[in-house]
Chains A and B, each alone.
Chain A
Amino acid sequence: MAVTIRLLGLFRQYGLPEPWEVPAGERSIGELLAEMEEKAHAGYIPIVNGERKSKTYIPAEGDDIKIMPLVTGG
């Protein structure tokens, strides 16, 4: 089964599909986003079902996942 990941704000500028579907139960969020994190020069926190999770979290079926960039200015 596939899980949908929603990239927020800044991360939408890096060419990943919107919405982005990934297989459940395989790779961690950290592994899935490693390349984009480098490209974006920005960290993030995964919000899974309304709660912050670590990057080692592996998406499971039924999850609602949003990726909040950790950058700010001003």
Chain B
Amino acid sequence: MYGYWGKLLRVDLTNRVCRTDDIPEETFGLLLGGSALGAKILLEETPAKVDPLSPENKLIFAVGPFQGVKFPGNGKWSVITKGPLTGTFLESAGTGHWAPYFKQCGFDAVVFEGRADSPVYVFIKDGGAEIRDAAFLWGKDTIETGELIKEDLGDRRINALNIGPAGEMMHPIACISCDGHSFAGRGGAGAVMGSKNLKAVAAWGTRDVPVHDPEKAAEFARETFTLLSGQGEKFRAHGTPRVIVPLEGIGDTPIKYWRGDENKRGASLLGAPRYTEYLKVKPLPCINCPIGCHRHIRFEYPDGTVLEGNGPEYETIGMMGSNLLVEDLGAVAKANDMANRLGIDTISCGAWIGFLMECWEYGWITPRDTGGLSLKWGDPDVLLALVEQIGTLTGMGGWFREGIRGAAKKIGREAEKITVEVKNMDYPAHDPRAVYALGVNYAVGTRGACHERGNPQTSALGGYFPELGQDGPYDRQTPEFAAKTAVAHQDVSVLMNCMTICQFMMGGGGLTLTEIRTAYRYLTGKDVPVEDLVKFGERAWQLQRIINVRDGLDRKDDTLPLKMAVPAMVGPRAGKTPTPHDRILDDYYELRGWDRNGVPTRERLEALGLGRFAAFLP
């Protein structure tokens, strides 16, 4: 078998035992790896509706075929589990330096089972793993934890995925950090780690993955790296903050918790090129990355304190800046740093603050609730105070123990009508009224509202897939194109999460599906036509949906928040809404081969080679 080890590491935390299982070659032939492999394990090994924070839940880290060789963007890894925010399937992905080191230990995935009776961290190495005491790490933030593990293991090259204090307290939006600048951010995978008393997963391996044609694979990787480095030069200069201004220009960026229509001034203050100069930015690349979209910043505040480290990305600026009408980039950078160190998702955190500000505006919460704090739009001090409260689940933050739905229920009045989420996962910083495909993409998201498993917002910037027969991006505000745009982008982005290659290699560097096909052929000896490659993405998606359906989710949960049916009065979204949602949903179900209730049909599953998984459907 080339490109894979065919090995799964199992770590039984309850009994502190590690063992290795075989993964049959046909599993990779059907599912590729990463996201799909994790979904299969989760489906087969956990019962329906398992409590995400119970020992019975499993926590799976999986990579794809490219991690053991040099290939652009292969710093990616996926974590798959039942998530505490939605109560169903969760996959979250991160980058950094961990993934290739893990793969070179001789494994394609690791499954954590049970719960340790005291804090531990796990060190995965060539052919096995060691469960180590983590009492000295408990309570440390994500950046300190990474450094302390390097010291403990006596090797600064070793990287550890880890959780901060939020993960330890099983916070519903706790993330998993890698290298202090990449995060499996959404849905609370960090809380699952915390529930297992698992503080970190370090990896350092030295094994060479078998490659079908090592010479050609290496040469092609070098050529592709050079090509993407050249094509991605401009993107490297400004990173994702580059798109703040143009996306505001088409009405895509959230403003005032999805009620504002325009924010040109805010966008120009928060986005690049000002961002790049103001925060003294340098690119911060992950391993084997020809682009380096992450930002290293150095900013001196008026009081003389200096913030140096990871800078906010587009999503954080969108949700903690524009969404709250905060224009102070220094405050957004500080809020980002606080959230990252505590280990919480900056997207949901920004959404929750916007929600609280709106409730304050309506008088649904009062100074008695806020401890005297006035939750005024645009106030950077309020932003920082609420990040602290939310990140520690104290004060108003304590209302969010079960996510935004729980907080809305507690606040009462009409609060449940103003939330902007799907399946309890808050919308990220892209507005479906600007790109209709986002409405259905979020609605059917297998982990809730997600812009990375399906990223049709890229079509608004001009992205499309000529190799899949497209003649150009579909019109972004035509309901008839919404479902097919969502399907195309979902299949490709989920394929990338099965390959575990960073999606920005495509959108930011111009990597093509044909190049992926070629690289996969040199690596594994298998030539898979592009139209079959994207079927790997669809298979993963169908497996994830089976998990959703088994957990009791269906059409009733594939919703469009009320605010999305309210058009803007002025600006680029004036008069535009991604409706009628039901009709777009019908189109989507038909394209996916699901019945009218959103359940995958046996025929479609069989056509994809997934027939045996139909047995998991209720």
Contacts and interface: CB of A to CB of B under 8 A. Distances in A.
Nearest to A12: B462
A22 interface: no
B509 interface: yes
Given A41-B238, A74-B314, A74-B430, A69 B462 contact: yes
Given A68-B463, A69-B462, A74-B451, A42 B234 contact: yes
Given A9-B461, A13-B246, A43-B234, A71 B508 contact: yes
A4 to B, nearest CB: 13
B466 A70 contact: no
Given A52-B510, A71-B507, A73-B457, A41 B242 contact: yes
A34 B482 CA distance: 33
A74 B185 CA distance: 12
A8 B472 contact: yes
B237 interface: yes
Interface string B14-38: 0000000000000000000000000
B273 interface: yes
B231 A45 contact: yes
Given A41-B272, A74-B429, A51 B466 contact: yes
Interface in A24-71: 37, 40-43, 45, 47, 50-52, 66-71
Nearest to B460: A9
Nearest to A69: B462
Contacts of A43: 231-235, 510
A43 B243 CA distance: 13
B176 interface: no
A71 B318 CA distance: 16
A47 B466 contact: yes
B466 A72 contact: no
B247 interface: yes
A8 B470 CA distance: 13
Nearest to A11: B462
Count class of interface residues, chain B: 35 or more
B430 A10 contact: no
A73 B273 CA distance: 14
A47 B234 CA distance: 18
B428 A72 contact: no
A51 B515 CA distance: 12
Contacts of B463: 9, 68-69, 72
B249 interface: yes
Contacts of A51: 466
Nearest to B458: A72
Contact of B466 (A6, A11, A13, A50): A50
Interface residues of A, number: 26
A52 B244 CA distance: 27
Nearest to B234: A43
A73 B466 contact: no
B462 A72 contact: no
Nearest to B314: A73
B507 A70 contact: yes
Given A41-B272, A45-B510, A72 B233 contact: no
B242 to A, nearest CB: 5
Nearest to B504: A72
A27 to B, nearest CB: 20
A72 B461 contact: yes
A9 B457 CA distance: 10
Interface string B296-330: 00000000000000000111001000000000000
Given A41-B242, A66-B472, A74 B452 contact: yes
Contacts of B451: 74
B459 A72 contact: no
A13 B247 CA distance: 11
Contact of A41 (B237, B247, B458, B466): B237
Contact of B232 (A7, A8, A13, A70): A70
Contacts of A10: 243, 246, 461-462
A74 B508 contact: no
Contacts of B466: 47, 50-52
Contacts of A68: 462-464, 510
A13 to B, nearest CB: 6
A61 B472 CA distance: 20
B118 interface: no
B234 to A, nearest CB: 4
Interface string B260-296: 0000000000001100000000000000000000000
Interface of A: 6-11, 13, 37, 40-43, 45, 47, 50-52, 66-74
20 contacts: A8-B464, A9-B460, A10-B243, A41-B234, A41-B238, A41-B242, A43-B234, A66-B472, A68-B463, A68-B510, A69-B461, A70-B508, A71-B246, A71-B461, A71-B507, A73-B241, A73-B457, A74-B430, A74-B451, A74-B455
Of all A-B residue pairs in the complex, the 5 with the closest CB atoms, nearest first, are: A9-B462, A72-B507, A8-B462, A73-B314, A73-B243
